[in-house]
Structure formats: structure tokens, C-alpha cells
């Protein structure tokens, strides 16, 4: 049975770094791109190890939500999945991801 995985993040990707994003201009959003890329890549590759390694302190610094839920997914999923990143967007300066692991 396919399992869906989705993530909501309080970080914004670089193209949306502007007045609509959370926080101060030039604040933690500038550092969010590599963090968001790591999550997008892990969802696309169905890589629970990468999700399990997400640093709580870094997520807090970046104002990123959803880290704990992704780590629960990583612990429950195991490694026998193929991943697909279905959507990555940043409306209003907040990053959202949706993926499918089958």
C-alpha cells in the first residue's frame, strides 16, 4: 500500500526571500535553501536516514516546522520504498513539500 508523506516548513526557499516570508529580511531565510533542498531530496529519494538526521537546533534557528513529523516518518518507514517529490512550493514565503513513497 502506498504511503504518502508531506511536510510543512516555516522556511522559505531562496526565490521567495522577500517581504512575504516569515522573519526579518536577510534573517534565517537566507540559510533555509540548503535545509529545504536536503528535505526535498530525502522525500524524492525515500531516504529515511537523511530525514532522521535533521538537526532540531538547525530547524529551530531556521524557524522550520515539521522536523519531528519527518523524523517519525523516517523511523516508521524503513528502507523499502521508492520516492517521488510531487510538489515543492513556497506560497507566501513559506516552503511546502508533498511526496509519495511506494
Interatomic CA distance for residues 102 and 24, integer angstroms: 39
Q: What pLDDT is attached to residue 95?
A: 82
In a 10 Å sphere around its CB, with 0-12 CB exposed, 13-18 middle and 19+ buried, how is residue 43 labelled?
buried
Region for residue 46 given its phi and psi (left: phi exceeds 0; alpha: psi -120 to 50; beta: otherwise): left
Work out the number of other CB atoms within 10 angstroms of the CB of residue 30. Answer: 13
- Residue 8 pLDDT: 41
State how many domains the chain has: 1
CA of 89: how far to CAs of 13, 36, 65, in Å? 9, 11, 15
Contacts of 52 (CB under 8 A, 6+ apart): 71, 74, 75
Instruction: Using pLDDT thresholds of 50, 70 and 90, give the confidence band for residue 20.
Output: low
**Which of 12, 37, 9 is closest to 93 using CA atoms?**
12
The 10s digit of each residue's pLDDT in 57-72 is 998 888 888 899 999 9
Q: pTM score, two decimals?
A: 0.75
What's the pLDDT at 19?
55
Segments forming the whole domain that contains residue 47: 3-101
Amino acid at each position: 500500500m502506498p504511503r504518502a508523506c508531506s511536510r510543512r516548513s516555516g522556511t522559505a526557499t531562496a526565490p521567495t526571500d522577500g517581504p512575504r516570508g516569515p522573519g526579518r529580511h536577510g534573517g534565517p531565510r537566507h540559510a533555509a535553501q540548503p535545509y529545504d533542498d536536503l528535505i526535498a531530496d530525502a522525500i524524492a529519494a525515500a531516504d529515511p536516514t537523511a530525514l532522521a538526521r535533521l538537526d532540531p537546533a538547525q530547524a529551530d534557528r531556521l524557524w522550520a516546522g515539521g522536523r519531528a513529523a519527518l523524523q517519525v516518518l523516517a523511523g516508521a518507514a524503513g528502507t523499502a520504498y521508492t520516492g517521488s517529490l510531487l510538489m515543492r512550493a513556497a506560497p507566501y514565503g513559506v516552503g511546502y513539500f508533498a511526496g509519495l513513497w511506494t
